Amino acid sequence: MSHASDVLIAGAGIVGSACALACVRRGLRVAIVESSGIGAGATAAGMGHIVAMDDSPAQLALTNYSQQLWRDLSATLPPSVEYDPCGTLWVASDDEEMREVERKSKVYGAAGLLTEILDSRALANAEPNLRRPLAGALLVPSDAVLYPPCAAAFLMAQAQQLGAQLFSPRKVISAAAGKAQLDDGSEIHAAHIVIATGADAVALIAQLPIRKRKGHLAITDRYPGYVRHQLVELGYLKSAHATTADSVAFNVQPRRTGQILIGSSRQFNAETPEVDHPNLAAMIHRAQSYLPDIGSLSTIRIWTGFRAATPDKLPLIGPWLSDPSLILATGHEGLGITTSLATAQLVADHICSRASAIPIDPYLPARFAKVAAHV
C-alpha cells in the first residue's frame, strides 16, 4: 500500500501535532504517523511550563515568539488543557543571585517582556510556603503553564478537522528522499518529511547530535494555593548547563487542579525509564530546601521521561544536511512544550519558502555540518 501527501510528519507529540496544524492551515496535504498515542512520549512526561528562557539570544527569541503564539491561542484552548497564566518566580537565595535577577530583568525588558523584581518581603508575601528569608525573585508574569498531552490532542484534532490524516499506531522505520517506510510495510511519499520524534529521531538519522536526557517528576494530591506561581531557583541554569554529572534543581508548578508538580532532574547516560531513587531523593530534598513543609504533602505519582538534548541547547529545526526532504523538528530538550508552536511556524515557513517572524538560522541543523562530517 502506498499513500501520497505534501508533508509527512513522523511523531504526534506536541511538536508534531503543532507542525501538522501549521502545515494543514497553509493548504498543504498532511499525513501524520504516530507509533503510540498523541502526546504520549516526552510531551506527557514534561511539566508544561510555557517559559521565556534567556540561555542565549536565539533561545530567548524562540521562547518569546512561541509564548506569544500560545497567548494568542489561549482563548480557544479547551478547559482540559488547563492553561493558566500563573507567571514564573525565579527565586534568588543570596545577593549573587539577586544580581542575576537584575541582569535577567534587563535582558527580558530589552526583548519586550515585562518583569517585576520582588525583594525578600514581597517574595514571602507572594509565596508564604517558601523558606525565609530568601533574597528575592524575578516575577515574569507572561509565563504560563498547561497540561501538555491535552494541548497536543487539541492541536491534532484541529489539524484532523482541516483534513490532516493520522496513521496510528504506525511507526516510520526509515525515511529518505521523499519516501517513508512504515512498520506495516506500507509507504508514504511526501516532498517533505518532518522528523518530530524527540530523542527517538536518532533511530531515523543515526548521525543526529541528540542525546537522551532523563528527568523525574513527582505530583502531589490537591493542595490549592500551596504555591501560586511556577517557582524555579535561579541556580536552575547551573543544573541545566551541567553536561556530565546528574543534577537536580528546585522547579515546582501549581496545577489548576490544586496539585503540585515537583521537579526537576537531569541525567545523561540513563536511557531506561525506571525511577532512580537516589536522583529522586536529591530532587525532593532540593524542593524541601526551598519549601520546608513540602514533605507533609502526599505524592500520588512519580515518573520519568527523556528530553532530546543537543550539544548547544538549541533545537534542530530545518532541513537535514544530506537529504533536504527530511526536515527536523526535534532537540528541544526541556523547552519543547513552550517552543512547539514557533517550531511549527518555522517548519511551515520553510516548506512554503516564506520568511519567518524570527530568523531560522540559529536552529538550522546545518550548524552541525562539521560534526556530522566527522561521524
Partner 1 sequence: MSDPAQIIVCINGVHVAVPPATTVAAAILIAGAPIRTSISGQPRGPLCGMGMCFECRATINGVPHQRSCQIICADQMEVRVD
Residues lying near partner 1 in the complex (CB under 8 A) are found at 221-223, 257, 296, 298, 300
CB of 146 to partner 1, least distance (A): 18
Per the document, the length of the chain is: 375
Burial class (CB in 10 A: 0-12, 13-18, 19+), 375: exposed
Q: What is the C-alpha radius of gyration for the chain, rounded to an integer number of angstroms?
A: 20
Helix axes 14-25, 336-351, angle to 10 degrees: 30
Supply 159's cell numbers: 489539524
What is the rounded distance in angstroms from the CA atom of residue 81 to the CA atom of residue 83? 6
CB of 253 to partner 1, least distance (A): 18
CB of 221 to partner 1, least distance (A): 4
Between residues 223 and 268, which has the closer beta carbon with respect to partner 1?
Answer: 223
CB of 228 to partner 1, least distance (A): 17
- Rounded to 5°, the CA angle 320-338-139 comes to 140
What is the rounded distance in angstroms from the CA atom of residue 336 to the CA atom of residue 357? 19
What is the phi-psi region of residue 333: left when phi exceeds 0, alpha when psi lies from -120 to 50, beta otherwise?
A: left
**DSSP state letter for 324:** T
At 344 the three-state DSSP class reads helix
At 197 the three-state DSSP class reads coil
The end-to-end CA distance of the chain, in Å, is 35
Between residues 189 and 256, which has the closer beta carbon with respect to partner 1?
Answer: 256
